[in-house]
């Protein structure tokens, strides 16, 4: 099913009905509205103007569209800021207030802001909660976008102090847990603790980790309360949130998604490729500058699906050039349809485009829509028309479980920021590299949280489990799958200290080895990892291992252990090049009974129920790796450039 | 005629007479004084000490020098800052006050500062307005140098609010014009509007454009009032201002120059080359590191002349190494004379050197003068002596009109800063590229403001007319010239919105085409533009065009239009490489009846009246492209390295 | 002799005795304690808890260890900051307070801080001054680490004003000395002078130089008072300080060391190599990433020894990977022993390791110790055991005088920061280059302060004597040595002005030449320096010289003088490439009767008394350049990779 994002307040009311008619004619089912409309809903404190929105809902609904209603809390109006400047956040890097003039100018720690946000949410929910055209809700918009999870405001400092009191109860316990004796950093009282910002040199990693947890909890608390308010007023409707890329929220995304019916994602392949490959040579960017990188959408579709385990929405899909990357190319012909199909292949229930009509004013006036500002059809229009037709002719089965699970661990990501140790160590890059290696074998991946049930997988990968709890250790012990655990796992206790008995700490129950030392190297000064007769690159992060009872499967250039195994569980003690990962995973899939289909260049495979999708990001046709006798429901055995084939 | 900048307050009074005598002996006519002397003129608030300056004026005048007197407002003394710290500006990037200790520590929005500046200006003007030795005036010094046009002070905020009230009258009009509904950015009152700084993410382009206009207006108001004060007290004297490079003022330079008799420019070729080529490979910098780049002086001579259309002054000419670039080479032998001649070729009335004697103290002690600190003659001395002799033997005719006009548009420059869209898009770089292409054909160029009369040109180039008003459209319609308008023209309305009916907005009267989409690409990921059988680079900014009734003269690699023509007017829809510009312009000159003389490497041509100048920046002799029978008045047919020839 | 840094407060008291026993068993003699223990010594203002430290001292002493006691002033506790937030420093770049949460959060200008620091120092000195186990004292820890010499606090501003009054007595003298007339920067009163920070553009170099001197004086005053307090309470004990690399203190290191018995240095070869070579290609870093660069330890050993002229300590020696560089490799096998031996070769009395046991918590948990957190022996352990045995078998003679003296000049370093002129000019890099050139000839070097006696040297090198006083001129006149003075010498008076009669100012008594002009070039746009028939690179900084009565020994590409000589004194007017330095120095050594032994790659030589050390940083064995008949006391004629040989 398809949808679109619409802002009736941006257009003359006389246009609404015709817009709605054209939406339906194009084959769209859903329309999302009102996410930034606070200043029109409540132009002055306590003075509400519902009339225009009532009429917009009625007009869209009358046309047969199902409405996704939003809480408008991403853009509080100026009168609120003027009345309560304390709601503004403070930049932790500079100490400067982040002011009005764009969006997200609010501090999750501010109780004034919390109350104001819940009040407007309740007003909207009460007004439209049982409106028959309203099918579901989106909370806020892209929570934590623009690095807004962390603030260094007085409210944040006070909130952090209160939160620490709940976590540690007495100050001596905190001092001990954090090791504050180290540099005479001991506190006498929770009310004397500062935020870990603006110090002369680096602050304690325990201090910074606690701050991250506090900030994440504040966002989750804010969001959970908002969901509860919506549910109280809108029985029978679902609630979702449109996530930015999960690694960028700065928040425990699983906790954020917990109260939702399903998660949504805002998919902007070209902006992401431009930024992710900003320092890559032209030869690496050019093939993907108008398509996006073949793995960068799938990984986020899979992560979004993994947040709830249920089919997700793409709430915003780029339909043309955007305005916010350093360079903003046009999508290659066919890509808007192809990205949409790729989302469905990865388990999307709905793909919704951002936005209906390019708006000729303000910050995003160079962001394409389905229509140009003059209401003419923009480039993506025929692709969506084609897609709508294709979807009408094909019932999509429920997405199933993948053979491979990857455990993503927000605290490993935070540790990667907090304790750099090696400048090239980047948790998210490691997850992306491992994901790419699995996808290169033609396999589907499920992303799961650290405590998730692993009993139905054949292969479980944990690129880094920095501070494993007893739950994940138990899950890894109990799964019948082969398991690969990456370096820096079990490296820390919950309070960011080295575990008793050294790393991998509680994982020693599975892997009776010890990490004796860690070295980090510059990216261009790699060492080797040797496996059978082959040598590969050992990169960046290298641990010296005492093997204990483990079997050594690969070694460093000096013969010491680099990959070890105990039972079904492997420990990879170093970051490696792609070739090593591919070789290791190919063997493990063989042992686990997972059939691999290596793919190259722009081709990616993905199954949904009994359907197999072959997505070709490349600019040359490729042969679909379909079995003899495959029944093609879309396309055929030769998959065109920027096209797809689907078979049973 | 030649001049020099002199600071009598830096030297013992006993030296003044001998200095003046040597100036005259060298052949200098003008001496500029007093621009930084406020603390000596008014050592305490209201306590003036004119005696020393009276004596300096008398001594210099008695030697036969003509004095250019200055208002000393670039360096207000500490007592003023102590009494009124509110005059200090605030850095928009950091929010930090920009304090005392160097120069330009003032805020154009501060009424305290405005009053103080006009008071000292009036005092100086009253004292010397009718002094017979004072021939003219320089206002202030290098207005807006060090990025001082913009300030984020409370005074700037208040001034901006008041200015907006004058522009929009009622707040609803402003909200509509700016599209503030977009992110609930609507204001209820002018007094609630913030400066567009310090927001969470980007602010509205309309908001930022308004701020630029306000800041420009504030500088213009300051300057215009100062000129009026001088004129009131100094009948019969001219008034000028020494501009920094116009693209760096942040101000509408035509408006700034409007009250002046003529404009002046401070010419520092080596510092500019070092900074402009800072990231260029050594092979690109090395040939010009001791000469400056052959096009970088001419473009600013031409822009300076274009501000008033009258002969300009070089008020400060580098005579040796300077102190402020990252690297500060010595000029190659001959260059000080050659830069001076080049200025005269481009229409200079006077070239004045900065400075008489290298000062052994303070910030610029490593900046060369005509004399060393010990009063010995520095390297440039004999070159200037030679030049003075040559000038004495040659009457320079009035500069005439060039065959080619280039329209420069400050608002296009601001748009380039405000709405990046493509990181490689740089208005000033585009103007420089187009200028270089024309100069490479051996042609002279006039720079004109958007509303200027174009009736006497054969070729008119508008690299970008971002927000064309009806005046420029009429001028382009009425000119008999061939016209080339570059991409991003007509892209916006005055309030930085996309025009009704799409770009190029009002230019559609001349070019009945529509810009359907814009894409921006990384510099190393270019596309193609094809013309006849040749392919060239299409770079950075690429517009998709609906051709309407226009003729397509060149296409992109996919065959869609990239260069179009309607009548005499062309629209180039993309940035291109140099080769495309050269080919296109060569053809247009042929059609327009302009004879071209392609030049290479370091040779540049320029006409002044009936004289043709060949300026050789290169380190090898070249043959002057003089016609048979040319009469050489300086040099001959072979132009030496770093030398020139002039013929009739 | 060997030692170790120990933090009893980090470990259970029950471990102390066993730790002490193992220290002794390993062959360690000294243990340094208490440097960061303030919050345990004085948990609340005025409430002291000495018991635990008394017991720690007794336990360590009872095991036979000699204790180095510290003043804990690098880490003031939170209660002090809470009571007196005025002690926090302010970042000069940002204006932001540098807060609590790490270390060194104090302002040397704060009298509150000064008093608090002296009070705790006196308390510790009084408690342990005559303790029989305490053999000596370390003041504070790594003074000025983390760029803490400069602060822009109100206290610093007030202190600077008071200091200026003592320097200049009346404000007119200051205005004249600094040349404040230049931009109307004249002050009417010392109490109106600002810190030279946050101005619109660069402030006066005299202003900045004065600020550096003030800040240095403040640190020296703080340290000198602390040493006096210790001496008053601890008769018969020595006092030292553990310096960071001298070029990074921002302080006159000779003045800082003046009250000490000897200086100490904290030696971290791998972190230094990673940072120093951060922008170098992999081929330059890789050979040294696990050894450190062969010259980067020796130069600091020699500089440390030069601070007092007496044998120094390495107070902290890296024993494994550290945590604070961008990349933190493991030392190559053998390097911990080799670095230690190298220190002894350069005149160390003691090498002490940082730290006994890797601490599992807080900022440095990834910093290796001699033990791992689980008390197992870490990698360096056997190397230290071997070293202890070797030391026991060899009596080290007193270090003698080197044949070559290099004059290091903190004010030349400050000038290099304050007046950039050429972006590639870096005083410390020049000193390192000249040092490397001498060391490459197999020679020992003594670093001396500008006023030091030079009568016993054969060759004296002064890479830059920016503002030479009469003392150094007299020393250079009186020495029988050959002398080479580098460019930018005599460039300035004490108040950072160009000397009367031009540079080299007072050095003209030795070198009757004049510096007519200076040019600076980009590093990749070098010129030439020609000597005999050979051409070398003339880099970055190039002075035009009037030779006067000097003999010209080398010229630029245009034939003008680049190296000149008068009597025994040479003036090198340009920075050069390494090859030129090697050729020039080889000739000079020949003339001076100094035998050279050119070494390549990783081999370095160093004499101590009658012993010669050959230190091999390389990964291949090399032949020791020992004379026939040499008696090897360690190793033999073939020096293994990362090994050494010592002979008589």
- Report whether A259 contacts A239 (CB < 8 A): yes
B21-53 pLDDT per residue, tens = 999 999 999 999 999 999 999 999 999 999 999
Range B413-420 average pLDDT: 96
B286 and C179: CB-CB below 8 Å?
no
For residue B197, the model assigns a pLDDT of 97
For residue A600, the model assigns a pLDDT of 84
Quickly list H helices, C440-508.
Answer: 470-478
Does residue B532 register a pLDDT over 90?
A: no
A142 is catalytic: yes
For residue C434, the model assigns a pLDDT of 98
Residue A302 lies in a domain: yes
A363 and B182: CB-CB below 8 Å?
yes
**In angstroms, what separates the C-alpha of B521 from chain A's closest C-alpha?**
5
Compute CA distances C630 → A365, B16, B644, C395, C624, whole Å: 82, 73, 71, 17, 10
In this prediction the ipTM stands at: 0.96
Q: Is A501 on the interface with C (CB under 8 A)?
A: yes
Q: Is C586 on the interface with B (CB under 8 A)?
A: no
**In angstroms, what separates the C-alpha of C276 from chain A's closest C-alpha?**
13
Same domain assignment for residues A521 and A630: no
C286 and A525: CB-CB below 8 Å?
yes
Does residue C538 register a pLDDT over 90?
A: yes
For chain C, the average pLDDT equals 97
Same domain assignment for residues C378 and C497: no
For residue C600, the model assigns a pLDDT of 84
Residue B329 lies in a domain: yes
Residue A134 lies in a domain: yes
For residue B285, the model assigns a pLDDT of 97
- Residue B194: list chain A partners with CB under 8 A: 99-101
Same domain assignment for residues C50 and C133: yes
For chain B, the average pLDDT equals 97
Does residue A601 register a pLDDT over 90?
A: no
Portion 508-537 of C in contact with B at CB < 8 A: 516-522, 524-525
Q: Is A422 on the interface with C (CB under 8 A)?
A: yes
Q: Say which of B181, B499, B524 has its CB closest to residue A40.
A: B181
Q: Is C192 exposed, middle or buried (CB count within 10 Å of its CB: 0-12, 13-18, 19+)?
A: middle
Q: Which domain holds residue C283?
A: 2-147+220-392
Q: Is A498 on the interface with C (CB under 8 A)?
A: yes
From the CA atom positions of chain A, what is the Rg in Å? 25
Q: Is A326 on the interface with B (CB under 8 A)?
A: yes
Residue B432 lies in a domain: yes
Same domain assignment for residues C511 and C618: no
Portion 143-162 of B in contact with C at CB < 8 A: 145-146, 148
Q: Is C178 on the interface with B (CB under 8 A)?
A: yes
Q: Is A96 on the interface with B (CB under 8 A)?
A: yes
Same domain assignment for residues B144 and B246: yes
- Report whether B615 contacts B628 (CB < 8 A): no
B286 and C525: CB-CB below 8 Å?
yes
Tell me how far apart the alpha carbons of residues B307 and A259 are, in angstroms, rounded to a whole number: 64
Q: Say which of C36, C328, C366 has its CB closest to residue A184.
A: C36
Range B9-14 average pLDDT: 98
Q: Say which of A202, A421, A496 has its CB closest to residue C328.
A: A421
- Counting residues of chain B whose pLDDT is more than 90, the rounded percentage is 99
Tell me how far apart the alpha carbons of residues B59 and A370 are, in angstroms, rounded to a whole number: 75
Does residue C601 register a pLDDT over 90?
A: no
Residue A139 lies in a domain: yes
Say which CATH number the domain at C318 has. 3.20.20.80
Does residue B191 register a pLDDT over 90?
A: yes
Same domain assignment for residues B142 and B269: yes
Which chains reach chain C with 3 or more Cβ–Cβ distances below 8 angstroms?
A: A, B
For residue A436, the model assigns a pLDDT of 98
Q: Say which of A184, A497, A516 has its CB closest to residue C361.
A: A497
Range B434-456 average pLDDT: 97
Does residue A457 register a pLDDT over 90?
A: yes
Tell me how far apart the alpha carbons of residues A226 and A231 are, in angstroms, rounded to a whole number: 9
Same domain assignment for residues C550 and C637: no
C542-593 pLDDT per residue, tens = 999 999 999 999 999 999 999 999 999 999 999 999 999 999 999 999 999 9
Tally of domains within chain B: 3
A330 and B500: CB-CB below 8 Å?
no
Tell me how far apart the alpha carbons of residues A338 and B489 are, in angstroms, rounded to a whole number: 33
A75-121 pLDDT per residue, tens = 999 999 999 999 999 999 999 999 999 999 999 999 999 999 999 99
B198 and A364: CB-CB below 8 Å?
no
Residue with tokens 């993907």, as numbered in its chain: A288
B465-490 pLDDT per residue, tens = 999 999 999 999 999 999 999 999 99
Which chains reach chain A with 3 or more Cβ–Cβ distances below 8 angstroms?
A: B, C
Does residue B601 register a pLDDT over 90?
A: no
- Residue C94: list chain A partners with CB under 8 A: 94
C365 and A207: CB-CB below 8 Å?
no
Does residue C272 register a pLDDT over 90?
A: yes
Residue A279 lies in a domain: yes
C328 and A525: CB-CB below 8 Å?
no
Same domain assignment for residues B433 and B317: no
For residue C92, the model assigns a pLDDT of 97
The torsion of the CA quartet C248, C254, C260, C265, rounded to 10 degrees, works out to: 30
Tell me how far apart the alpha carbons of residues C11 and C355 are, in angstroms, rounded to a whole number: 13
For residue A587, the model assigns a pLDDT of 98
- Residue C289: list chain A partners with CB under 8 A: 521-522, 525
Same domain assignment for residues A583 and A610: no
Say which CATH number the domain at B578 has. 3.40.50.880
**In angstroms, what separates the C-alpha of B70 from chain C's closest C-alpha?**
14
**In angstroms, what separates the C-alpha of A195 from chain C's closest C-alpha?**
8
Does residue A471 register a pLDDT over 90?
A: yes
**In angstroms, what separates the C-alpha of C631 from chain B's closest C-alpha?**
53
Q: Which of A359, A392, A425 is the last residue of a domain?
A: A392
Contacts of A422 (CB under 8 A, 6+ apart): A520, A521, A540, A541, C326, C327, C328
B196 and A105: CB-CB below 8 Å?
no
- Residue B205: list chain A partners with CB under 8 A: 362-363, 365
Residue of A nearest to B498 (CA): A360
Residue A614 lies in a domain: yes
**In angstroms, what separates the C-alpha of B43 from chain C's closest C-alpha?**
9
Contacts of A532 (CB under 8 A, 6+ apart): none
C101 and A518: CB-CB below 8 Å?
no
Diameter of chain A by CA atoms?
76
Range C432-438 average pLDDT: 98
> Which of A13, A35, A44, A142 is labelled catalytic?
A142
Q: Is C455 on the interface with B (CB under 8 A)?
A: no
Does residue B557 register a pLDDT over 90?
A: yes
The DSSP 8-state label assigned to residue A148 in this structure reads -
B205-230 pLDDT per residue, tens = 999 999 999 999 999 999 999 999 99
Omega cis (within 30) before C504: yes
Diameter of chain C by CA atoms?
76
A522 and C285: CB-CB below 8 Å?
yes
Q: Is C96 on the interface with A (CB under 8 A)?
A: yes
**In angstroms, what separates the C-alpha of C238 from chain A's closest C-alpha?**
25
Pairing verdict, β B264-267 and B242-243: parallel
- Angle formed at CA B485 by CA B483 and CA B490, multiple of 5 degrees: 130
Tell me how far apart the alpha carbons of residues C611 and C596 are, in angstroms, rounded to a whole number: 17
Mutation target for C interface from B152, B327, B374: give the one with most C CBs within 10 A. Answer: B327
Q: Is A189 on the interface with C (CB under 8 A)?
A: no
Q: Say which of C192, C202, C519 has its CB closest to residue B102.
A: C202
Portion 190-229 of A in contact with C at CB < 8 A: 192, 194, 196-207
Per the structure block, which two tokens stand in for A111? 């109780």
Q: Where residue C368 falls among pLDDT bands split at 50, 70, 90?
A: very high
Residue of C nearest to A505 (CA): C374
Same domain assignment for residues C425 and C562: yes
Q: Which of C362, C392, C422 is the last residue of a domain?
A: C392
Same domain assignment for residues A585 and A609: no
Tell me how far apart the alpha carbons of residues A195 and A198 are, in angstroms, rounded to a whole number: 8
**In angstroms, what separates the C-alpha of C270 from chain B's closest C-alpha?**
31
C248 is catalytic: no
- Report whether C562 contacts B323 (CB < 8 A): no
B372 and C205: CB-CB below 8 Å?
no
Same domain assignment for residues B540 and B587: yes
Does residue A539 register a pLDDT over 90?
A: yes
Residue A539 lies in a domain: yes
């Amino acid at each position: 099913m398809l949808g679109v994002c619409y802002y009736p307040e941006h257009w003359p009311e006389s246009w609404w009905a015709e817009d709605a008619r054209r939406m339906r004619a194009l084959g769209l089912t859903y329309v999302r509205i009102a996410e930034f409309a606070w200043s029109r809903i409540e132009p002055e404190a306590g003075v509400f103007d519902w009339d225009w929105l009532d009429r917009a809902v009625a007009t869209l609904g009358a046309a047969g569209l199902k409405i996704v209603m939003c809480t408008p809390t991403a853009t509080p109006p100026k009168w609120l800021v003027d009345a309560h400047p304390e709601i503004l956040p403070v930049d932790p890097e500079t100490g400067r207030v982040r002011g009005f003039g764009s969006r997200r100018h609010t501090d999750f720690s501010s109780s004034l802001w919390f109350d104001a946000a819940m009040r407007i949410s309740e007003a909207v929910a009460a007004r439209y909660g049982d409106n028959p055209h309203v099918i579901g809700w989106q909370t806020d918009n892209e929570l934590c976008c623009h690095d807004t999870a962390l603030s260094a405001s007085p409210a944040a400092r006070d909130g952090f102090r209160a939160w620490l009191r709940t976590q540690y109860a007495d100050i001596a316990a905190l001092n001990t847990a954090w090791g504050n004796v180290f540099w005479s950093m001991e506190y006498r009282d929770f009310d004397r603790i500062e935020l870990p910002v603006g110090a002369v040199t680096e602050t304690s990693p325990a201090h910074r980790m606690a701050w991250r947890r506090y900030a994440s909890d504040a966002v989750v608390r804010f969001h959970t309360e908002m969901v509860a308010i919506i549910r109280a007023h809108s029985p029978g409707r679902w609630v979702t949130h449109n996530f930015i890329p999960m690694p960028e929220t700065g928040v425990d995304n699983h906790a954020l998604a917990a109260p939702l019916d399903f998660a949504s994602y805002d998919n902007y392949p070209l902006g992401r490729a431009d930024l992710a490959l900003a320092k890559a040579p032209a030869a690496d960017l050019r093939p993907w500058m108008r398509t996006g990188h073949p793995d960068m959408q799938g990984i986020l579709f899979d992560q979004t699906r993994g947040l709830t385990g249920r089919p997700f929405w793409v709430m915003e899909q780029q339909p043309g050039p955007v305005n916010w990357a350093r360079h903003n190319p046009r999508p290659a012909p066919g890509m808007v349809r192809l990205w949409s199909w790729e989302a469905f292949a990865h388990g999307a229930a709905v793909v919704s485009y951002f936005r209906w009509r390019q708006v000729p004013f303000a910050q995003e006036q160079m962001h394409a829509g389905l229509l140009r500002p003059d209401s003419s059809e923009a480039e993506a229009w025929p692709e969506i028309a084609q897609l709508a037709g294709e979807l009408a002719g094909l019932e999509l089965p429920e997405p199933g479980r993948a053979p491979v699970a990857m455990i993503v661990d927000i605290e490993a990501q935070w540790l990667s920021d907090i304790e750099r140790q090696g400048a090239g160590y980047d948790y998210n890059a490691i997850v992306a590299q491992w994901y790419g290696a699995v996808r290169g074998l033609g396999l589907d991946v499920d992303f799961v949280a650290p405590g998730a049930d692993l009993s139905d997988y054949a292969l479980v990968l944990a690129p880094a489990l920095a501070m494993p709890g007893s739950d994940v250790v138990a899950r890894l012990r109990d799964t019948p799958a082969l398991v690969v655990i990456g370096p820096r796992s079990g490296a820390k206790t919950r309070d960011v200290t080295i575990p008793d008995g050294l790393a991998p700490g509680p994982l020693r129950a599975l892997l009776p080895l010890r990490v004796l030392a860690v070295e980090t190297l510059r990216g261009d000064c790699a060492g080797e990892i040797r496996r059978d007769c082959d040598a590969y690159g050992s990169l960046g992060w290298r641990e010296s291992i005492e093997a204990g009872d483990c079997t050594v499967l690969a070694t460093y250039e000096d013969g010491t252990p680099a990959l070890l195994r105990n039972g079904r569980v492997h420990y990879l003690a170093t970051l490696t090049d792609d070739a090593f990962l591919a070789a290791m995973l190919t063997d493990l899939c063989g042992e686990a009974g997972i059939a691999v289909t290596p793919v190259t260049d722009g081709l990616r495979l993905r199954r949904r129920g009994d359907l197999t999708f072959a997505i070709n990001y490349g600019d040359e046709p490729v042969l679909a790796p379909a079995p003899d006798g495959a029944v093609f429901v879309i396309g055929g055995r030769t998959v065109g450039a920027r096209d797809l084939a689907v078979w049973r």
